Structure 1
Amino acid sequence: QVQSQVSSLHKAASVDNSSPLLVRSLAFRAQEELEGQAWYHGKMSRRDAEKLLKEDGDFLVRKSTTNPGSYVLTGMHNGLAKHLLLVDPEGTVRSHSYHPET
């Protein structure tokens, strides 16, 4: 009986419940939520983003023009604009690395 329970647990754990349609639907909903945020500005160049920052603490998130599929956090700190490249490989935006050409 124990072996039967282990076998059924293994079988249940091996079933992949995600479908391409579900993944696409979740990505679409995440994009809609992102676009509803005041700090999100869509596809924008580094230079245009810097023009929107006025004082320390101002920030925005934009789609990278040089790294398709990536996002950039642009913020003002000590009077200088900083750009932090964010990546979204699994549906979660997270810090990746600094990219000076972004």
Structure 2
Amino acid sequence: MKPFEDALKNQPLGPVLSKAASVECISPVSPRAPDAKMLEELQAETWYQGEMSRKEAEGLLEKDGDFLVRKSTTNPGSFVLTGMHNGQAKHLLLVDPEGTRSNSY
């Protein structure tokens, strides 16, 4: 099983938001700002792409299993896992373990 498919299967069931509605979704969790060392480590990873929009991220994905991590443009300080699954881009907001949970949008 591919890592992105595994992550999708492990998401708790909840309301499904349309792509249009999800753009307005703001995380209820106040994320901790990443420190300089963490950002330096992230930038060394090939899968980390920095701050970019959903549309830009989707443009980088070519086939099922492709993924990247990016800084969210709509939830400042948050990160998003964007991956291709069944020919469609999926976006998972990553929440600190002290937060509530990850949101699929």
- What's the TM-score, normalizing by structure 2? 0.61
Q: Which runs of 5+ in 1 are unaligned?
A: 1-23
Does 2:102 match 1:96?
yes
**Percent sequence identity over aligned pairs:** 65
Structure with higher strand content: 1
Matched residue, 2:71? 63
Q: What is the CA RMSD across the aligned residues, in angstroms?
A: 2.1
Matched, 1:35 2:43: yes
Instruction: Give distance in 2, aligned partners of 1:27 and 1:88.
Output: 14
- The unaligned stretches of length 5 or more in structure 2 are 1-32
Q: Deviations over 1:35-76 (max 9, x none)?
A: 110000000000010010000000000000000000000000
Normalization by structure 1: what TM-score?
Answer: 0.63
Equivalent residue, structure 1, for 2:84: 76
**In 2, are the aligned partners of 1:69 and 1:87 still within 8 Å (CA)?**
no
Q: Which has the higher contact order (CA 8 A, sep 6+)?
A: 2
Q: Are 1:85 and 2:99 matched, yes or no?
A: no
Give the count of matched residue pairs: 71
